[in-house]
Amino acid sequence: MDTLDTMAETFKLLSDKTRLTILSLLKERELCVCNIVDMLQMSQPSISQHLRKMKAGGLVSESRRGKWTYYALTIDDKPFVNEILSHIPSQSSKIEWLDNQESVCD
């Protein structure tokens, strides 16, 4: 069970628009860092920094595949985050856009 301190830290992570957008994208499916960079039109170091913070906060997990790192949501133990994400606008159009692009991750 989360304490008020850990919940407050999680809410701090969620208070950033970029991190909230990334979590919303990951709600759709697991993504490579390069995919997120393409969709958000931000630098790879900036996206990686946000993902590092969210990983430290227990919101995402990472797995290596070749030279790329993929991220997925790990919020099953945080029902309050699931509830928040259920109210966030869908990012499916960005995922559809990505599916129609030639990805550098392949």
Look at 24 and 101; give whichever has higher pLDDT: 24
Question: Domain of 53: which CATH number?
Answer: 1.10.10.10
- The residue behind tokens 């550098």 is 104
Three-state secondary-structure class, residue 88? coil
| pLDDT value of position 100 | 87
Question: Residue 52 above 60 pLDDT?
Answer: yes
Q: Is residue 105 part of a domain?
A: no
Please, which pLDDT band fits residue 2 given cuts at 50, 70 and 90? Answer: confident
Whole-model pTM?
0.89
CA distance 80 to 10: 10
**Owning domain of residue 65:** 4-92
Residue 77 main-chain phi, psi, to 5 deg: -90, 5
Q: Is residue 72 part of a domain?
A: yes
Q: Is residue 42 part of a domain?
A: yes
Q: Is residue 29 part of a domain?
A: yes
Question: Residue 48 above 60 pLDDT?
Answer: yes
When divided into structural domains, the chain yields a total of 1
Q: Is residue 100 part of a domain?
A: no
